[in-house]
Amino acid sequence: MNSIENVSRRGFLKVAGITSGTFVLGMNLPLSNAQAKLATSALNHELNFFVSIASDSMVTLVCHRSEMGQGIRTSVPQIIAEELEADWQKVSVVQAKADSKYGSQGTAGSASIRNHFTSIRQIGAVAREMLEQAAANIWQVEQASVKAEKHFVIHTATGEKISFGELASHAAKLTPPESKTVKLKNNADFSLIGKDVKLVDLDNIVAGKAQYAQDIQLPDMLIATIVRPPVVGGKVLSFDASEALKIKGVVDVIALKPRSIPVTTNPLSGVAVLANNTWAALEGRKKLKIKWQHGDKAFHNSSEFSKKLAKQVNQQGETVAKKGDVYNHQYNNKNTVEATYTVPYINHSPMETPAATAIVNGKKCTIWAGTQNPQWAKGNVARELGLAKDEQDNIELNVTLMGGAFGRKSKADFIIEAVELAKASKRPVKVIWSREDDIQHGFYHSISANYCKAELTDNGSADYWLSRNAYPPIGWLWNAEAKTPSDAQLALGFGDIPFALNNLSIEKHAVDSFVRPGWVRSVACINNGFALGSFVDELAVKAKVPTRQMWLNLLGDDRHVDPNENGFKYSNYDLDLTAHPIDTKRMKSLINLISDKAKVEQKLPDNQGWGISFLRSFGSFVAAATKVEVVNNKVTVLEMHTAVDCGIVVTPDRVKAQMEGAMVFGLSIALMGEISVEEGKVQQSNFHDSPVTRMNQVPEMHVHIVESDAPPGGIGEPGVPPVAPSITNAIYHASKTRIRDLPVNKVFSV
Amino acid sequence: MIKIILNNKPVELDVDPQMPLLYALRDELKLTGTKFGCGAGQCGACTVHVNGVAMRSCITPVSAIAEQAITTIEGLADNNGKLGDSAVQVAWREFKVPQCGYCQSGQMMSAAALLKAIPLPTDEQIIEHMQGNICRCGTYKRIKAAIKSAATRVSENKSSATASLSTNTINNPNGVEIFDARQFAHKKQGA
């Protein structure tokens, strides 16, 4: 909620102070087609930091959040244009640089719309009221007697109208109204929200003209590739660059400065080869001779570690939430189910590997990077350059499109690398990561173990529920002593179990860290959702009822669940629990919807099976159903469905696209997602040994979107968690083999 | 100096003959529509056409394509030479295929080459041909649908496509221009 304050107080009030005249926005823009267009177009009048209108009525909207494929560069402007009453045909979009004047720019946690819907609407509404006021002033009437409609302000009594273009210069001179006082549209009057408009970046992408961080070209630029320590915390003892420097095109070899633990989001250090072109840099890199000191993480072995975590969760842990008493209960073995689930390290593998370009000139620095966290990155760079807080504006951080991110590009390590090397070489430097770099030096989804135990009850449900997990916490990045996840992390499908239970114990365990942990699309919901979704299916099997029935019975009566009642400090993804309740009615209707749409209870051949699962995450409700066939030890996924209730939908086709993508991402996790570590070193190197889903593994897919007036939930991540358990549950129903240790390809060919 | 015909124009490359075409395109010619994905021919993000056939430019040294006709995403055009309007590109827009879009140049180049070889591919043929192209966003379903749509469009327009053959390019009915390397020699002689 901070960001709303940021936008309304800092943003608009600041604007109010400086809007004495007109403003050419072109000065402010990153390199883009829109910039060139603006420079030649009519004078632009800035109504607030996000909205400018030219005298020819063309509206320029700033998208302050980062595009990684979710379509946010369409959805944010769409919301602003809705409240502005702008004609979408006359809207062009420019990407914001990193600047705190925009409020939050951190594009993570599926938060752009779920946490900022109202504040983004207010941006448009403030500008609209300024246009209305300007027209009212011209007509010398009350503002209430005019209204904006499709790029004009109309005097309702006379039908007279003035275009946005004609009003822009007048409106820009007005003091913006307080964002909290502006009137927002009724949902029923939406003409853009909920409609599929033309996607902002589609034409450029299809023409091969879209510009990603890897595509930045500057005069005199060097390309840098970096050999990083194979073990986290490792250091360069010595290196010999003589052979590398003999490669034609190699300009310099530079040792990056050593870094220490806590690793934070700093670079890993290493040795960089800088060259006039990529090929020379890569060839030079092959000739580098480096002696490493691997440090104290060099004994880490992930398969042994997984077994250790599995043992750990079979012991009592530290209480996270508690109700009744599960420990003074005599479990009846006949009706009790107990299971341990393990998930390995998982990498993001965005198709575009990390890349950033920097120019450093004394205290001035210009950067082009694909980053999910522009302001955070800027702060990191300021620290790197030793700039004081008030000197941060010396840094210009241009945000490019990202060729996928999935959480990887929330970290600024690759941006700091570019800054460090640009400073050392005194030339523009583009740091590019190879695929091997990306796979071996990532911020991984943590290896984990989850344990569940419960006893079936006479009414077809379960009670005396135990949930435990153990995994290296993300907090270790900043605090080397951190051993357990924060409450916010535990809220991800773990502390928020929505079932009607009388006796419950949720526990966490302390775990050491050996590789850099990170946020991978849906974060701890990956392992917690896998455990929960698998365990409900196991309970259903034990009770000999359809899995749908077990979900419905466990969820119980229609109600709003409050995990705080069990002593858990529940943050609800920073959403207000009243506006975004854990609503069992919505859950049950979604489970029924997916079961009915996919016809999961239909009779199938012996070697086929349906699996379903569900998780509410990031403010949205998603159920998944998968049909598989298991023949000759090979799993073939035949059909997949997801059903999503994410409240108000802004861009329906992009919601659908995110659900389709989540099914494919979930397939990768379930079937073959694994980063393994031996002696502290990642064993995989490229797509041949770190495979992701290909077209031949993708089944028939269906997406069902629930119509809803509820406040919007997230959409980038919530599709992922139910997918993997729906697949492994289906495998069980097809083959009677229960997969509790991901990925599936340890047991079956996929 | 290595001579190629790139998107119907003669180009001379003064680079290490072992340099993969991908880096020559991106670093030397500043044609960044062709993308780096893996550097090992495993993901298809770098796919271009060499004489109309899909090739992974990240593992193709420029020495191997001397005097050949190369088409990149920037050169993909419809039968009348209109850039950006090849049948696959029209279909890609219609089905809103891209999410992040990074792999899509390679996907479209692979798809265009498929339709050149097999004008009306079956599902199995589409999968067989396209499984070398990874999309981490997971747009496969739409890629498949877009290829089918492009194939249908092309087959329905076949007669008009043939009629629009120009004198110096050999067009195929799939909207992929194929340039004959002999043109290059001819032009050089003329110059």
Instruction: Catalogue all structural domains in chain A, each as residue range(s) with its CATH number.
Output: 2-206 (3.30.365.10), 213-296+354-432 (3.30.365.10), 302-347+443-746 (3.30.365.10)
Instruction: Decide: A113 and A193 in contact? Cβ < 8 Å.
Output: no
- The mean predicted confidence, pLDDT, of chain A is 94
How much is the average pLDDT of A103-119?
A: 97
Our CA-based measurement puts residue B66 at a distance from the nearest CA of chain A, in whole angstroms, of 18
Our CA-based measurement puts residue B171 at a distance from the nearest CA of chain A, in whole angstroms, of 19
Asked if pLDDT for residue A17 goes beyond 50, the answer is no
How much is the average pLDDT of A333-361?
A: 98
Which pLDDT score, from 0 to 100, does residue B156 have?
Answer: 80
B16–A279 C-beta distance less than 8 A:
yes
pLDDT tens digits, A655-680:
999 999 999 999 999 999 999 999 99
Asked if pLDDT for residue A486 goes beyond 50, the answer is yes
A207–B73 C-beta distance less than 8 A:
yes
% of chain B surpassing 90 pLDDT: 79
Name A444's bridge partners: A517
Which pLDDT score, from 0 to 100, does residue A548 have?
Answer: 98
Out of A207, A279, A403, name the one closest to residue B19 (CB): A279
Quote ipTM for the complex: 0.94
> How does residue B187 score in pLDDT terms, banded at 50, 70 and 90?
very low
Instruction: Choose, out of A282, A695, A697, the residue to mutate when testing the contact with B (most B CBs < 10 Å).
Output: A695
| B108 Cβ under 8 Å from any chain A Cβ | yes
How much is the average pLDDT of A450-461?
A: 98
Asked if pLDDT for residue A368 goes beyond 60, the answer is yes
Asked if pLDDT for residue A243 goes beyond 60, the answer is yes
| A440 Cβ under 8 Å from any chain B Cβ | no
Nearest CA in chain B to A437: B38
Asked if pLDDT for residue B172 goes beyond 70, the answer is no
Our CA-based measurement puts residue B60 at a distance from the nearest CA of chain A, in whole angstroms, of 12
Our CA-based measurement puts residue A406 at a distance from the nearest CA of chain B, in whole angstroms, of 9
pLDDT tens digits, A199-210:
999 999 999 999
Mark which residues 646-685 of A lie under 8 Å from B by CB: 653, 657-658, 660-665
- CB under 8 Å to A167, separation ≥6 — which residues? A53, A131, A134, A135, A138, A153
| B41 Cβ under 8 Å from any chain A Cβ | no
Out of B15, B18, B73, name the one closest to residue A208 (CB): B73
Which pLDDT score, from 0 to 100, does residue A389 have?
Answer: 87
| A435 Cβ under 8 Å from any chain B Cβ | yes
* The CATH number of domain B2-190 is 3.10.20.30: yes
Provide, as residue numbers in chain A, all residues whose Cβ is less than 8 Å from the Cβ of B16. 248-249, 279-280
> How does residue A633 score in pLDDT terms, banded at 50, 70 and 90?
very high
Task: Give the neighbor-by-neighbor strand order of the sheet with A161-163.
Answer: A146-149, A152-155, A161-163
Which pLDDT score, from 0 to 100, does residue A15 have?
Answer: 32
Asked if pLDDT for residue A21 goes beyond 80, the answer is no
How much is the average pLDDT of A38-62?
A: 85
How much is the average pLDDT of A397-408?
A: 98
Of A526, A577, A522, A657, the closest CA to residue A108 belongs to A522
| A219 Cβ under 8 Å from any chain B Cβ | no
Any alpha helices (H) in A544-576, and if so which ranges? 547-555
Our CA-based measurement puts residue A202 at a distance from the nearest CA of chain B, in whole angstroms, of 7
Which pLDDT score, from 0 to 100, does residue A42 have?
Answer: 57
Cα separation of A662 and A648, whole Å? Answer: 19
How much is the average pLDDT of A19-30?
A: 28
Out of A68, A209, A698, name the one closest to residue B100 (CB): A68
How much is the average pLDDT of A564-581?
A: 97
Asked if pLDDT for residue B184 goes beyond 90, the answer is no
Token pair of A181, please?
A: 């006082």
Which pLDDT score, from 0 to 100, does residue A101 have?
Answer: 95
Determine how many CB atoms are found less than 10 A away from the CB of residue A389.
7
B30–A217 C-beta distance less than 8 A:
yes
Cα separation of A370 and A385, whole Å? Answer: 20
| B77 Cβ under 8 Å from any chain A Cβ | no
Which pLDDT score, from 0 to 100, does residue B155 have?
Answer: 81
Which pLDDT score, from 0 to 100, does residue A43 have?
Answer: 79
pLDDT tens digits, A587-620:
999 999 999 999 999 999 999 999 999 999 999 9
Asked if pLDDT for residue B168 goes beyond 80, the answer is no
Selected residue with higher pLDDT from B155 and A508: A508
Asked if pLDDT for residue B78 goes beyond 50, the answer is yes
> How does residue A37 score in pLDDT terms, banded at 50, 70 and 90?
very low
| Mutual angle of helices B104-117 and B123-130, in 10-degree steps | 130
How much is the average pLDDT of A571-598?
A: 98
Determine how many CB atoms are found less than 10 A away from the CB of residue A351.
29
Nearest CA in chain B to A217: B30
Which pLDDT score, from 0 to 100, does residue A44 have?
Answer: 87
Instruction: Decide: A621 and A586 in contact? Cβ < 8 Å.
Output: yes
Asked if pLDDT for residue A119 goes beyond 90, the answer is yes
Nearest CA in chain B to A655: B99
Q: Which residues of A528-563 are buried (b: 16+ CB within 10 A; e: fewer)?
A: bbbbbbbbbbbbbbbbeeebbbbbbbbbbeeeebeb
% of chain B surpassing 70 pLDDT: 82
> How does residue B29 score in pLDDT terms, banded at 50, 70 and 90?
very high
Nearest CA in chain B to A247: B16
Nearest CA in chain A to B73: A208
What residue ranges do the domains of chain B occupy? 2-190
Three-class DSSP category at A467: strand
**Beta strands at B170-171 and B177-178: parallel, antiparallel or unpaired:** antiparallel
DSSP class of residue A8 equals I
How much is the average pLDDT of A286-307?
A: 97
B136–A695 C-beta distance less than 8 A:
no
Asked if pLDDT for residue B50 goes beyond 80, the answer is yes
Asked if pLDDT for residue A18 goes beyond 70, the answer is no
